[in-house]
Structures are given as structure tokens and as C-alpha cells.
Chain A
Amino acid sequence: MARMKFLCDDERCIECNACVTACKNEHEVPWGVNRRRVVTLNDGEPGEKSISVACMHCSDPPCAAVCPVDCFYVTEDGVVLHDKDLCIGCGYCFYACPFGAPQFPQDGAFGVRGKMDKCTFCAGGPEPDHSEAEFKKYGRNRLAEGKLPLCAEMCSTKALLAGDGDVIADIFRERVVRRADRDGETVKPQVPWGWGQAYGDKKS
């Protein structure tokens, strides 16, 4: 079985936010919640870099380790999902997550947290595939249709890749080699952004 991963190539991302918009629209995500966001470093200065980030579906997910009701599960594709029927909105997963992925719609007075919402790698939730309940709670289940996450499919520069970790890592490696060729540099092995943190690869 493939181990699904996200990869964002900071040499390609142009901060167009199409991935963010595509995700919101595809899953009809609640107001105030963004499952994906683009962060730009050194914005407006020479050498600025952008990264599109969402839940990375970590190998040893910190969110799952701290959830007091144990509502996370990992699919056989390595996608980290959770059960909203169990979630109590305590926010612990948000404290623990390195990537700021878990989001909370405000529920009632005093800013009380509602049930956690996060990127599902377009893989739905525990309800039956393509059911009304699944769509309402988690959005579209594209993986069950044999499709990959929409954010990556929408990406016009193909900075954002989603799919079998080995395949996208190969694509990335090829790019690194080609860029070094073009710029007359020696090739240095590079670990894609965030992979150290999410999948335990050395260096991020």
C-alpha cells in the first residue's frame, strides 16, 4: 500500500492560494476554518519563499498521542483521520501539532471550541464512503474515488504534490538535480520541507 504524503516545493510556490481556495470549496469547510494555508517568509523582500501547509499526516502523529478521547485513526494509506462524533473540542491536538493543522469553529459563547476540523487528505471520515454524513462532517472523499487531493491537483506550478511518498520524493529529487545543473551547482541531497518534522527524515 502506498504511504500518502504532501510535499511543497518552495522553489515553485508562487503564493497564489489556489490550493487554499480549492480546499475550502471542495469540502464546504465551515466559516472561519481553513484546512490549508500558504505562508510567505521574507514577504516582499528578495529571496522570499512560500510554503503551502496543511496537516502533513505525520508518521508518529502528536495529535493522536494527546487526544484524551483517542479519536484519531490512521488509514492503510497512512492518512491521519479523526472521528468528530467522539471529539470533545479540548484543543489538545492543536497544542501538540507542529504544523498548526487542527482548526476549531467557534461554538457558542466565550469562544468555546467546537469539534476539531482538519485536512483529511481528501479521504473523508469514519462514515460510509460518499455518504451524506461523511460529506457534512469531513467533506469529499476523493481517495475513495481513486483521485488525489484537490489542492495538489489544482496547483498550477506543481509546487504542491500529494500522493505516494516514494513517487513524489522521486519527482522532487529529479527537480533538485535539474536545478543544480541549470545553476552550475553541485547537487546536495535535500529533504523536502517539513518531512523531517512529519515523517522523521533527517533535517527539515
Chain B
Amino acid sequence: MATAVSGHRSRRLWWATVLALVLLTAGLVAVAVDWTNPRADLWRQVREGVEGYSAVRGLESGELIQASGEVWRRWRNGPLAWVGGVLLGGVMFALGLFHLLHGPQRLAKPRTGVRVSRWHLGERVLHWITAVLFLTLALTGLSLLYGRRLLIPLIGHESFAAYLAGAKFVHNLTGPLFVACLVVMGLTWFRDNLWRKIDWDWLKSFGGMFGGPHPHAGRMNAGEKAWFWLLMAMGTVVSVTGLILDLPLFGLEREQLQLSHLLHVAAALIVVAASLGHIYIGTLGTEGALEGMVTGSVDLSWARQHHDLWLAELAQKGKVAESEVREVKRPSHFFRPDDPSASA
């Protein structure tokens, strides 16, 4: 039995040796015989972007042909522009349709007149500064991508070029401010947006948007949390690539700029499409939501309907009277285990 096994093994070894020898010989022949014409070789190097020497000093001045420019052109003018356009148009259409057929989510109970403080002044200032910067960047950015097709036929080459020169300037200037806002926003609302078990239930019932009992929600509901994390993720991509593009000073090569640009546009289109949903829900879509971010407080009825667990938490901390939360049925698992007030 033992010899049979070793015989099997030695036969395999033999074949492996033969194969190795054949490959080695082929390799030696390939090296020895000059298959390629050196001229062809030189131009192959050029096509692959090998750099030569140039007395003209400058970034990549030694590179004769860069092939990636064509790739960038195809992606920018093709899939990115088209998919982005369809995405934005589709979301707008869907929201319009929803509003027409379903209408906004109204307050289920009449207003009580009792105000519950929801966003403190700092949060509101942060939100609105970020919102203004976001809209500015979105409109100027979209003009760079779609203006040639959409605006030049309307206002002509001269006016459009004048507008776009300003738009480019504003876009490049407000970009870094927006990055700063995103960082502050991330730090401010990070804790409130940590995902919790009840958020799945909220998502499953679409936040009660299509009827059914309104699902439980803490200070942020699952929809707000999803928007927050999407903004953070896409915002990071947009910020990093944006800063790269903003400062040609860094001396980056074209391939890096091209890639940054494609990522920048893709992430931006996604977050702009999502922002349409956020804007709709925060204004027309939900009765009583906008006043929270404007005045800082919401009606007790609104709080009960949309953020019952948050209200209960406030009551627990003594910030609203317990009696005012009476309609709330609390599931036992909503308190954070590390919340000292929960055990009190």
C-alpha cells in the first residue's frame, strides 16, 4: 500500500519536472529571440504612458499621450451624466406623484398648544448654514455637468459662460466651508443617529407613511438616521475628492484628477437625489416638521405622533411633564443600557 502511494507521488513529481523544463525552455527562447521590433516597442511604451524627457518643465510634460483622458470623457459624458439625470428626474417624479396621490402626512390629533423644545439654537444654525451651502454647491455643480445641455439653449453662450464663471468660483470657495460644516454636523448628531433595534420596525412600516399605526421612534427616526449616514458617507467622498480638485496647487497628475472627478460627481449625484427626499419630507411632506427646525420647538401632538420614545425620554429626564406623555406606550427596550436615568 505504501509503495503504491509513493509511486503515485513520484509520477506526479515527474510530470511536474517535465512541465517546468518545458516552460523554462520556452522562456529562454522567448528572451533569446528578439520577437519585437525595437521601434514597435518604443511606441508601445508611448501608448502605455512611459515618460520621456522634455526641456519644457511642467507636470507630466514628458508624457506624450495619456490614454485615460478618453476614458474620463466617456464616463463623464456618458453613464455619469445619464444615470445621474435619470436618478434626479426619477426621484422628483416619484415625490411629485406621491404628493399628488397620497398627500402630506397630517397631524393625527389636533395641536395641543404645548411646545416641546426639539432643536437648540446651535443645531438650527448648523443645519441652515449647511443647507444653504449644500444647495449652492448642488446648483453650481449641476450647472457644470448639465448646463451646457440645459441652459445654453435657454440663455445663450455668453450669459451662460458669465454665470458659470461665477458658479465655478462660488463652488470652489464654498466647498471647504461645507466640509467644515459636515465635520461639525457629524460630531453633533453622531450619538443621536446610532442605529437601534426599533429602527428596523420603523423602516419595515415606512415610518407609517402608507397608513398603519405610527411606529415608535427616538429623537431621530430611522429615516433621519439613514439620511444622516448617507450624507456622512457620500459627504466624505465628495469632500476628499473635492479638496483634491479644488487645489491644482497640489500638483496631482491627470489620472488622479480624473478619478477624483468621477467619484466626486457620482457621490454628489447620489446625495443630491437623496436630499430631495429629505427636503420633501421636512417641508411639504410632513405637517409640523419644518417649524421644529425653524423655531426650535414642535407641538406636543407632533412629538407624540412622530417621536414618541424621545418624548418619553424627555419625561424621564423631567424635561416635560409625565402627564403629557400619557398616550405613549413604551416598549421596554428603548432605554439605552448606559442611560443612568433608565435605572432610576
Contact = CB atoms under 8 A, between A and B. Distances in A.
Interface string B124-144: 000000000000000000011
The SS class assigned to the B binding surface is helix
Contact of A98 (B65, B152, B165, B248): B65
A111 B56 contact: no
Select the residue from A34, A62, A88, A204 with max chain B CB neighbours within 10 A: A88
B56 A100 contact: no
B69 A96 contact: yes
Given A53-B64, A113-B248, A41 B157 contact: no
A69 B66 contact: no
B249 A41 contact: no
Contacts of B45: 41
Contacts of B42: 41-42, 47, 49
Contact of B43 (A20, A62, A204): A204
Interface in B54-111: 54-56, 58, 60-67, 69-70, 72-73, 76-77
A197 B69 CA distance: 11
Interface in A150-189: none
Contact of B249 (A15, A87, A111): A111
A90 interface: yes
A66 B168 contact: no
Which of A20, A67, A95 has its CB near the most chain B CB atoms (within 10 A)?
Answer: A95
A76 interface: no
Interface string A37-77: 11111110001010101000000001001111111000000
B52 interface: yes
Size band of the interface chain A makes with B:
35 or more
A85 B157 CA distance: 10
A47 B50 CA distance: 16
A62 B71 CA distance: 10
A41 B168 contact: no
Contacts of A94: 254
Given A70-B148, A204-B65, A88 B164 contact: yes
B158 interface: yes
B38 interface: yes
A66 B73 contact: yes
Given A62-B69, A85-B161, A95-B254, A39 B60 contact: no
Interface of A: 15, 17, 20, 34, 37-43, 47, 49, 51, 53, 62, 65-71, 85-91, 94-100, 110-113, 193-194, 197, 204
Closest 6 CB pairs of A and B: A111-B249, A37-B56, A86-B161, A43-B53, A41-B52, A88-B165
24 contacts: A17-B55, A34-B61, A41-B45, A43-B52, A51-B64, A66-B77, A68-B145, A68-B147, A69-B147, A69-B148, A69-B152, A69-B164, A71-B161, A89-B168, A91-B257, A95-B257, A98-B66, A99-B64, A99-B65, A100-B66, A111-B248, A111-B249, A193-B43, A204-B47
